[in-house]
Amino acid sequence: MGVDLRHFDDELQQILLELKENPENVELLAKVCYEFNIRSYHNLCITYARRGLAKDPFHASLYYELIIASSLDTAHILEEILTELEGILESRPGDVGARRNLALTHYFMENDEEAERMLRDILHGGDEENGDRQSYEILAQLEYAHGHFDGCIDCCEKAIAQPGPAARATRLKGMCHQELGQQEEAMSAYTQALEMEPHFVWACHSFASLHFERGDFKQAMRYFGKATYTNPNDPGNLFLLAEAFMDMEAYDLAMGELTKLLMCKPIKRIEAEVYNALGYLWIKKGDPDRARQNLTQAIELEPELAVAYFNMGLLAQKEHNFPLAERHFKNAIAIDSQNMDAWVELGFLNIQQKKYDQAEECFQTVLDLDPDEAQAYLGLSKLCQREKDADAQLETAQRAYELDPDHPEICNNLGIAYECNMNFEQAEDAYTRALELDPFHSPAANNLGYLYEKKIKLLPSEENHYRKKAIEAWTKRLQICVVKKKSIKGATTHLLKLGLTQQEIDALSEAPYQPES
């Protein structure tokens, strides 16, 4: 099997030379596959794993690495592996390695319930003496996917305590700490993972993302650079950097990284993902024609790319083409029935079109998939508002806030629910919180303005106080609209009614918006 050793680090070169001298050594082949996966050479891992399985069709570690390497592929490789493993279990029903690998395959195919059932059976209800590292690793991934970060950490620690390489579990433990806002613990875990496996590309990516989160751009670039040095062919190096720039709303920088990735001529699946990301970025930059062009290209390359249809739906929604948006969201769901974002947006779209029964069905579907999905409760709260059920509106708004207290629209919606229940003080607090989280959240400023005008009428003795606060709120709304290049007519009308002159309003509209004031 011809591989140019010069492409690899010294350690991997040495292992490959050893394999060249011992080509029939299946255990050595399994080690090579692990080392390829650690460095994100997934295609090479698949090739060598198949070579090993031709010699030993029941080798559990080879299958484990093969499944991980195949997990990002959509060419039905996982379905083939599933059939193979089921065949092994028919002839060898007691093969624990095959059962564990079947659970991992189910996990990557998003059959989470079946994967967890099989793992719990293997682990005998959590009896650590019956456990093994890889089973705990898979169970940890399931816990992480469901947002159960403490449970994931517990499984990672059990995996680390078992014999064998622990870098993957250690990195996943760091990801949980990062999700929980425990940055020092995350940093410690990533450091340990890279001490165990200095060429672990995914750990480099995770460390880079943590440094971005901490605002340490130099260290972030250092770890992206380390990943690129280890494997310059890994598209994740550029793709994840582009995602980091997206999170910073540095859209031009993100586009630059994605353009570099296209220049590297990636495989068709990755190319489709890139065009999808470019389409999303053009939506954010307000260029619907370029967005549509890139998303169409993504779908032509990969007709089963659900997220591209989802983004097409967002684009149609922005253009107020609701029937087209509905079709795109339904296409996304047809490809991936567990696409919660598509279900949520379809629910919101149904509310806009006054299809309330369909909207409720969408949000309930999301809650069946994840009972702790805040956006579903946000949708139900908006639905209850339309149906004038103030008690249920507040209950669902509060539940959304409990699940995601740092989401501006959830805070704004909570304010609306409080106001509908005549609880004006808490409504004011919620609108204010929304603007703290997003100083450009114009609906929250709008709602504050209306609330203060209402309090002027309810509390005439405090008219001057609330008039001043109403003017502040409508001024904020005015200036946000100027920055966003939206109509200022509504804010102007309210400020005139509150006693400002047109000249004063013009001066306010020309003044720089200062959210902190």
Q: What pTM, to 2 d.p., does this model score?
A: 0.81
pLDDT digits (tens, 9 = 90+) for 428-477: 999 999 999 999 999 999 999 999 999 999 999 999 999 999 999 999 99
- Say which amino acid occupies 462: E
* C-beta atoms surrounding 464 within 10 Å: 9
The Cα 349–Cα 364 span in angstroms is 15
Supply the pLDDT for residue 233: 85
Give the model's confidence band at 72: pLDDT under 50 very low, under 70 low, under 90 confident, else very high: confident
Between CA 473 and CA 480, with CA 474 as vertex, the angle to 5 degrees is 95
Question: Token pair of 96, please?
Answer: 């624990």
The Cα 136–Cα 157 span in angstroms is 9
Among 57, 37, 55, 53, which Cα is nearest to 45's?
A: 37
- Say which amino acid occupies 74: T
The Cα 363–Cα 505 span in angstroms is 42
Distance linking the first and last C-alpha atoms of the chain: 67
Supply the pLDDT for residue 216: 92
Residue 221, pLDDT > 70, answer: yes
Q: Please, are residues 382 and 351 in contact by the beta-carbon 8 Å criterion?
A: yes
The Cα 425–Cα 447 span in angstroms is 13
Asked whether the CA dihedral 338, 341, 342, 344 is positive or negative, the reply is: positive
Question: Token pair of 398, please?
Answer: 């509060």
Give the model's confidence band at 132: pLDDT under 50 very low, under 70 low, under 90 confident, else very high: confident
The Cα 477–Cα 434 span in angstroms is 13
Question: Token pair of 500, please?
Answer: 């400002």
The Cα 19–Cα 41 span in angstroms is 17
Q: What's the chain's average pLDDT? A: 93
Q: Which residues contact 351 (CB under 8 A, 6 or more apart)?
A: 359, 379, 382, 383, 386
Supply the pLDDT for residue 126: 46
* C-beta atoms surrounding 515 within 10 Å: 12
Q: 73: number of CA atoms within 13 Å, CB side? A: 17
* C-beta atoms surrounding 115 within 10 Å: 24
The Cα 485–Cα 286 span in angstroms is 12
pLDDT digits (tens, 9 = 90+) for 149-200: 999 999 999 999 999 999 999 999 999 999 999 999 999 999 999 999 999 9
The Cα 206–Cα 224 span in angstroms is 9
CA of 161: how far to CAs of 34, 141, 509, in Å? 19, 17, 62
Q: Strands of 103-202 (E only): list them.
A: none
Give the model's confidence band at 128: pLDDT under 50 very low, under 70 low, under 90 confident, else very high: very low
pLDDT digits (tens, 9 = 90+) for 360-385: 999 999 999 999 999 999 999 999 99
Of all residues in the chain, what percent carry a pLDDT higher than 70?
97
Mean pLDDT of 396-423: 97
The Cα 449–Cα 284 span in angstroms is 28
Helix orientation angle between 374-386 and 356-369, rounded to the nearest 10 degrees: 160
CB-count burial class (<10 Å; 0-12, 13-18, 19+) for 69: buried
The Cα 42–Cα 20 span in angstroms is 20
Q: 310: number of CA atoms within 13 Å, CB side? A: 22
pLDDT digits (tens, 9 = 90+) for 253-294: 999 999 999 998 888 989 999 999 999 999 999 999 999 999
The Cα 315–Cα 280 span in angstroms is 9
* Residue that has been written with the tokens 């949520």 in this structure: 344
Give the model's confidence band at 123: pLDDT under 50 very low, under 70 low, under 90 confident, else very high: confident
CA of 325: how far to CAs of 282, 294, 305, 320, 375, in Å? 17, 17, 16, 8, 19
Q: Please, are residues 428 and 447 in contact by the beta-carbon 8 Å criterion?
A: no
Between 490 and 516, where is the model more confident?
490
Between CA 422 and CA 516, with CA 403 as vertex, the angle to 5 degrees is 70
* C-beta atoms surrounding 105 within 10 Å: 27
Mean pLDDT of 68-82: 83
The Cα 157–Cα 252 span in angstroms is 41
- Say which amino acid occupies 159: A
